Structures are given as structure tokens and as C-alpha cells.
């Protein structure tokens, strides 16, 4: 299967995630082990976990991967890597190492996989981290992401539930980019005209 034969966009990006309600019903069954050094675990639904190593250093870890939301493999690799790396930044941490997570069809052109990993590797390097390994499995669809480890000061952690009235929000790009990308891919798959739905899309983009 060559690059021209692949239909990348089937509902990728973060729209491929399971809903929080579904996850909560599963996670609430898992026994919780108390560890005073685990500062942030899965019960807080934060961007990453944080484990205290010393009074000044904690390890911050995240794992994020998803199906493609763009048609270009190299660009997809960069987006998926940046998405995983951003979880470390969101907590206030510094990226150190990353591991590739790859799901890839056995019959597909390996050059596609090479482009994806190249894009991801470049983003890891840009973040100041080291790509130290990874794991791959055969799958019917392409999926890619990273497991990222960083360090953080345990007294300077940013959590996603700590916002207060008066705090300033800094947007690094327009809201709704994921909605538009997903809508575009859905319309492509069903051979519908994007122009027909553009008023709806742009209303969703800003609200």
C-alpha cells in the first residue's frame, strides 16, 4: 500500500479519545495505592502524572497518541509529538526523554512510517529532549504518539483545576482547530461538500 492509497483522516486527533464519563467508570474500579510521593495521579484527570524524587525534583510523565487528522505523514508526526510534549509544558515541566508509540498496518509502505517518526523526532529535538526508544505493533489503522518523561519542581506544578477568577488565559492558536480538521475529514470520507457546511463549522469554531 503506497502513500497515495492511504486515507489518513478517519476521525483522528483528540476526537478519537474515549469520553471522560466512560473512563471514570473504568478507573473508579481500580484499587488506589497510597504513595506520599505521588503528587498527581490519574484521579485528578490532569495533563500528566507527577512523582516526587527529592525535595527539589519530581518526575513528570505523560503518554499521548492518536490516529491522523491530516493527510501528510510527516506533518502528522510533528503534530502528534507536539501534542504529547505539550502535556509536560502544561504542568510546568521540562522535557527530558521520549518513547515512540506506533500502530501501523503491516502491508503499508514503510516510508510512511519513516516520515511520521521523522516528524516526531524533530519535535522532540526541538523541545530539548532525547528520543530514547519506543514500541510498535501491527494494527489496521495508523496511530502514533509519544510517552514523555520530564522533570519539574514539586513546589511549582501547574494543575488544570487551579484556575481562579482573574487569571489570564494565553491562547497559542485559535480555538476550534480540531473541530474544523475533524469536520473536514468527515466530509471528505462521505464525499460531502465542505462549502455546504461551512456556516455551521465556523459557528462551532468560535463558540
| pLDDT tens per residue across span 16-51 | 666 667 777 777 777 788 889 999 887 777 789 899
Judged by average pLDDT, the poorest of 11-15, 42-46, 137-141, 174-178 is: 11-15
pLDDT: is 199 or 80 the higher one? 80
Residue 14 known to be catalytic:
yes
Q: Tell me the mean pLDDT in the region 57-73.
A: 92
CATH class of 3-159: alpha beta
Note the pTM of the prediction, 2 decimals. 0.75
Among the options 9, 14, 103, 163, which is catalytic?
14
The answer to whether 102 and 147 have CB atoms below 8 angstroms apart is: no
Distances (CA, A) of 23 to 20, 26, 45, 67: 5, 5, 10, 19
Half-sphere exposure of 140 (CA within 13 A, CB side): 1
Amino acid at each position: 500500500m503506497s502513500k497515495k492509497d492511504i486515507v489518513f483522516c478517519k476521525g483522528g486527533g483528540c476526537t478519537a479519545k474515549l469520553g471522560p464519563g466512560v473512563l471514570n467508570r473504568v478507573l473508579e474500579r481500580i484499587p488506589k495505592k497510597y504513595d506520599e510521593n505521588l503528587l498527581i495521579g490519574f484521579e485528578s484527570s490532569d495533563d500528566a502524572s507527577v512523582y516526587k524524587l527529592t525535595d527539589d525534583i519530581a518526575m513528570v510523565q505523560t503518554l499521548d497518541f492518536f490516529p491522523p487528522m491530516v493527510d501528510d505523514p510527516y506533518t502528522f508526526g510533528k503534530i502528534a509529538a507536539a501534542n504529547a510534549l505539550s502535556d509536560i509544558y502544561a504542568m510546568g515541566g521540562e522535557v527530558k526523554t521520549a518513547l515512540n508509540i506506533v500502530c501501523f498496518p503491516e502491508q503499508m509502505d514503510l516510508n510512511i512510517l519513516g516520515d511520521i517518526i521523522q516528524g516526531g523526532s524533530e519535535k522532540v529535538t526541538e523541545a530539548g529532549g532525547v528520543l530514547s526508544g519506543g514500541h510498535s505493533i501491527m494494527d489496521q489503522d495508523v496511530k502514533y504518539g509519544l510517552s514523555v518523561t520530564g522533570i519539574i519542581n514539586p513546589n511549582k506544578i501547574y494543575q488544570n483545576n487551579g484556575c481562579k477568577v482573574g487569571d489570564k488565559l494565553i491562547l497559542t492558536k485559535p480555538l476550534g482547530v480540531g473541530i474544523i480538521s475533524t469536520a473536514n475529514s468527515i466530509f471528505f470520507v462521505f464525499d460531502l461538500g465542505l462549502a455546504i457546511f461551512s456556516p455551521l463549522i465556523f459557528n462551532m469554531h468560535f463558540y
